[in-house]
Each structure stands twice: as C-alpha cells, then as structure tokens.
Structure 1
Amino acid sequence: MASSRFMKIVSPCWKSSAVADDDSHRSKDGSFRNGLLWYKDSGHHACGEFSMAVVQANNLLEDQSQIESGSLSSLDSGPQGTFVGIYDGHGGPETSRFLNDNLFHYLKKFTSEHHGMSTAVIKKAFLAAEEEFLKLVRKQWLTKPQIASVGSCCLAGIICNGTLYIANAGDSRVVLGRTNKATKEVDAIQLSTEHNASIESVREELRSLHPDDSQIVVLKHKVWRVKGLIQVPSTMFHLLP
C-alpha cells in the first residue's frame, strides 16, 4: 500500500477530538470512533501514560482491548499496577468480548487468593477464563453452533511492583519500543513468542496430544495449519516475568 494512502487511512488515529470528522463520535470512556478507526488519546495510569488505536479490517470488529489501572486484587489493600489486554478474535467477536469482560476479573480474584502477582496467578486466570467460555459453548452450541468455531488470541501485559509480566496464547506478539539513548531512535524488542503450527515444537506438541489424529496438523498451500484450517492451537500459554 502506498504510504500516502496508508496515512490517509490511519491519520484519524492521531486527530484530536476538536478536529474530528462529522461522522466521528466520542464514547463515555473518552475514546473516539471514525468509521473503522478507533482511538483513545494519551491518558494517565498507575504506571505512566497510555494511548490506543485500532484500525478494523471489516465492519465486524472481532478484536477487543482494555487497560485497567489501580488495584490488581479484589482487595483494596492488594498490589497496585496496570493491566493491558489485547484480544485478537477470529471466527466472530464472542471469545474476544468474553475475555475483555472476564479475564481481568479472574486475575484480580487469583491475585487476592495468592496474596500477590505471579506467573502462576496469570496462568490460572487464563485457564479459568478458557474453562468458563467452554462452559458457555457447551450451553449454547445446539442453538448457536457457530460459537464452537469462534476463538481468540490473547496478549496480556501487567506492570506490578516494578516488574513487567507478559502472557500470550495464540500467534499475536508483544513488541516493546525502547528509545536508544545513543542514536535517539526507537528499537523494537520482541518480548513474546507466537504459538502457531508453523513452529515445529508446536506441531510436535499437537501430535503428542492427539496421537490418533493424523490430520491434526496439515501442510496446506505451504502453510502448516491445525486440521488444515487455522494456524493457532486451541490452548497454549507462555509466561515471562
């Protein structure tokens, strides 16, 4: 895509509300929408400033994102910090919306029970959210069968007590931008590793989990896919403190 066309498409992400187009509107949370563009200007959170921008691929937004700041526990006396969640939905918006509504709740619950933040707490929150969504699928799939084919990748970043925790399930990637003091340029630092069938270790794990299914991973059009359909395995977690 030509750079001029690209900038024309994404430039509203950096517009202030004062110069937004007539078809734009501001939400109660301070975010702004203009057609398929959504953005939220810089604001303060417990661990610094933040901003968000989303460019939809189509009219149905399958992806969700959230920033929560303050207590990371159900107890007011719990640890303070900032939680960022990015949910890359596929097949529909149901899973990403469920994560957006529930993952942080589980994180706070288990932080309270374990009296602090840890990689174990984050993994328990991921597993609890997954199990609860699977219950929803079992309950609804006879009347809403398409829900059984809906999924979402999940990235979570948590800053707590001076430590950055990164968790991901699926093939989204966390990249940290850090200013190089010598060159004044921004260096991109990869913080997480994708989970998809293009990675040999992931294919081997899927085969070991499904020894009776010769089609669990299939090379299709030179791309490895789970059941020949999708690159992302159903359940995998990778946690970095």
Structure 2
Amino acid sequence: MLEFWRRPLETCFGAGGSDALLWHTGLKPHALGEYSIAIVQANSSLEDQGQVLTSPSATFVGIYDGHGGPEASRFITNNLFPILQKFASEEGGLSEDVIKKSFNETEEEFLKFVKQSLTTRPQVASVGSCCLVGVISNNVLYVANLGDSRAVLGRKVNCSVVAERLSTDHNVAVEEIRKEVMALHPDDAHVVVYTQGVWRIKGIIQVSRSIGDAFLKKPEFNRDPLFQQFGYLLPLKRPVMTAEPSILTRKLKPDDMFLIFASDGLWEHLTDEAAVDIIFKNPRPGIAKRLVRAAVEEAARKKEMRYKDLIRVEKGVRRHFHDDITVIVMYLDHSQDSVSGLKRHGVYDCTDAPVDIFSLNADKDDL
C-alpha cells in the first residue's frame, strides 16, 4: 500500500537565510535506486504539482505544470495514476496504448469537470496543465509528455556524463512545433502569432498540448464573457491544442545513471547539459534542491540582483522573476538490492488541497 505524505516538506535552508517558498525531501528509495524532490513556489497559488509512486517492481513519476490556475494540475495529480492503473489492469500490463488511453480519459474527465463548473466558476475553462509522466517497469522506461516540462537522462560515457533529452517540448517557441501547429490549420493565418516578445497560439498560450485549456479545444467553452478577456472573438473552427502525448519507450542500460523530470521553470534557466553536470559533480543528498537553487540563482543574475534578495520576494510578486519549479531526480542503480530499501512505499504530492490516497500492490501487472 502506498502511503501519502501530507506534511510540508522540510525547508531547504536554515533560519535567517531560508527561502520560505522552497521545500525539499531527503533521498527516498524507488525500485531501481533513490530519488530526490524539490519545489519552489513563485505564483500566488502553487500551480506546479509533482508525485512519485513506488513499489518494489515499478516507479511512477509525474510533473504537472499548471497555467491559469492550479485546478488542472491538481486534477491530474488525483486522477491520472488511478486511470493508468485501470487500463494497465484491463490490458495485462503497461504499453504506449495504455498511456495514450490514460491521458485521453484524464482529459475527458477534466473537461466534464469544466462543464459542470461553468455556471459558478467559468474561469476553469481557461485553466490547463502540462503533463510529464515517467514510468519504469521491468527495466523499461516510458516517458509521455504534453507541453514543455522535460525529462533528461544523464548517461555515462567514459569518465564523463552526457545529457540526452527524452521528451519533446510542445512549445511554439520551437520552430518545428510552430510549423506543426500551422500545418494543422492551413486556413487560419493567425493560429500562431508573435506577441509580447514570444510566439503564442492565438496570441494566448505558448504550449500546443495540454490537459485542459478547454476554451481552445471546444466551441462550447469559447464564448463570452470569458473569452473576451483575451481579445479573441472569432469562433473556434477546430481545437488549436490537443491532449495527444508524445511517448518514448526505452530499455534502460547500465550506463544510464540518472533521470531528471522537471517543469519548464527549471529549463528556463538551466540547459540540459548544465543540469546533468550539476548532478554528476555533486553528492546525492539534496540534489534536487541544488538544481532548484541553481535555477533561482540564474534568475537573480538575469535580473541583476542578489540571490538572497530574490528569495525574500513574496509569492505572486516572485513570478516576475521566475516560475514555479518542480524537480525530481531519479538515480538508476541497476541493482535489485535497491528493492530492499523499499520498506515504506511512498508517494509525495505537492498540493495544499486534499487528495485521495492511492494504492499500488507489488504485482508487475499493476503498471
């Protein structure tokens, strides 16, 4: 049975110099090694969510980067894994098809929630979340992604380590993704526009795939008065965003040292190579916290201010300097000895809303 930890994470730094919006866990065991988590809040309400679920035979990792509010990322935290369990059980194990079905049903269930909420909370039609999932089962890694959270592998080559990106950034800042969106809408010259210094779909959003963002997917949610705030009054001919994940399947190899799963807030300030290098050159304890701090230090440098001054900036105001950041580092020890460390199978979830306790037994078909 997976346990659920509701307690706040330990504050990263000591009294007097601590960042009240930065939390982390110590090292925890998973089926192939150890993992570390750290989160820093920048938005008024924490929109990032992250979770790790482990058993002696499998590990599930989720990074859910919300936008427009926390509702979609919290919904995914509560629902995606149970849905994945259901489909895996029905089909006798994990597969790319199971993952796609799980993402699709999570999307459909959230759109039902949006429809039910329209009369009292119409703003939820404009709430969405990127969704990055990693599952390790039977020494096979599955990575599924919507949006621009990112999974990066640290792989040993001789006496050094190289970074290998495992996910696709579905962000129209990337020319390939921009062309992909334009090709799907040849009759809409303004489906992607350059505004406020960046490329955006309909001048609104940068990511092209997500859970939620109902007002950009279904005409019934694309109505006044909600949509007027974006200055886009044309009817929606077809969805301009999708919830179709890109999926990578990879057999883990002895030279695969660790995995980084992180929301876009980290990658805005650190390259894949820089993040991998930090992990390679530093001890395991506090490694996710170290990555978060490196990103915040870089955000401070870009704004020509001191790190110790930036960490005193309050949530909400902090968003002008950096985004919410969630980082999960998974070490891959490639040894069944690590299973013995799983005396307590755990799940960590970063949310201030009540969530269900998930259950996972040790049978390999559960994932």
Find the counterpart in structure 1 of residue 342 from structure 2: none
Given the alignment, which residue of 59, 62, 80 partners 2:47?
62
1:42-53 alignment runs, 5 A limit: 42-53=27-38
Task: Tell me the secondary structure at the aligned position of residue 27 of structure 2.
Answer: strand
TM-score by length of 1: 0.78
Q: Residue type matched to 1:48 in 2?
A: G
Moved more, 201-210 or 80-89: 201-210
How far did 1:28 drift? 4.5
User: 1:120-152 CA deviation, whole Å, 9 max, x = no partner?
Assistant: 111111111011001111110221011111111
- 8 Å CA contact 2:104–2:244 kept in 1: the answer is no
Rounded Cα–Cα distance in structure 2 between residues aligned with 1:219 and 1:44: 45
Given the alignment, which residue of 121, 125, 129 partners 2:106?
129
Rounded Cα–Cα distance in structure 2 between residues aligned with 1:43 and 1:94: 28
* Larger fraction in strand: 1
1:150-165 alignment runs, 5 A limit: 150-165=127-142
Moved more, 211-220 or 201-210: 201-210
- The verdict on how the C-alpha distance between 1:29 and 1:179 changes in structure 2, with shifts beyond 3 A counting, is farther
1:148-227 alignment runs, 5 A limit: 148-183=125-160, 186-227=161-202
How far did 1:44 drift? 1.0
Aligned: 1:40 with 2:25: yes
Aligned: 1:31 with 2:21: no
Task: Tell me the secondary structure at the aligned position of residue 60 of structure 2.
Answer: strand
TM-score by length of 2: 0.52
Rounded Cα–Cα distance in structure 2 between residues aligned with 1:38 and 1:49: 18
Rounded Cα–Cα distance in structure 2 between residues aligned with 1:150 and 1:116: 32
Q: Residue type matched to 1:156 in 2?
A: V
Task: Tell me the secondary structure at the aligned position of residue 130 of structure 1.
Answer: helix
Rounded Cα–Cα distance in structure 1 between residues aligned with 2:198 and 2:95: 36
How far did 1:222 drift? 4.5
Rounded Cα–Cα distance in structure 1 between residues aligned with 2:156 and 2:8: 28
| Number of matched pairs | 205
What is the RMSD of the two structures over their aligned residues, measured on CA atoms?
2.1
Task: Tell me the secondary structure at the aligned position of residue 130 of structure 2.
Answer: strand
Rounded Cα–Cα distance in structure 2 between residues aligned with 1:95 and 1:111: 23
- 8 Å CA contact 1:30–1:40 kept in 2: the answer is no
User: 1:49-106 CA deviation, whole Å, 9 max, x = no partner?
Assistant: 11100111234110000001128xxxxxxxx310000001111100000111111111
Identity between Structure 1 and Structure 2 (%)? 53
Rounded Cα–Cα distance in structure 2 between residues aligned with 1:236 and 1:203: 16
Aligned: 1:239 with 2:224: no
User: 1:213-233 CA deviation, whole Å, 9 max, x = no partner?
Assistant: 443211224422111011112
Task: Tell me the secondary structure at the aligned position of residue 174 of structure 1.
Answer: strand
Rounded Cα–Cα distance in structure 2 between residues aligned with 1:211 and 1:143: 36
- 8 Å CA contact 1:69–1:82 kept in 2: the answer is yes
- 8 Å CA contact 1:217–1:227 kept in 2: the answer is yes
- 8 Å CA contact 2:59–2:136 kept in 1: the answer is yes
- 8 Å CA contact 1:218–1:226 kept in 2: the answer is yes
- Segments of 5+ residues of structure 1 without an aligned counterpart are 1-26, 72-79
Rounded Cα–Cα distance in structure 2 between residues aligned with 1:217 and 1:81: 40
- 8 Å CA contact 1:36–1:58 kept in 2: the answer is no
Rounded Cα–Cα distance in structure 1 between residues aligned with 2:9 and 2:34: 15
Rounded Cα–Cα distance in structure 2 between residues aligned with 1:187 and 1:201: 24
- The verdict on how the C-alpha distance between 1:57 and 1:30 changes in structure 2, with shifts beyond 3 A counting, is closer
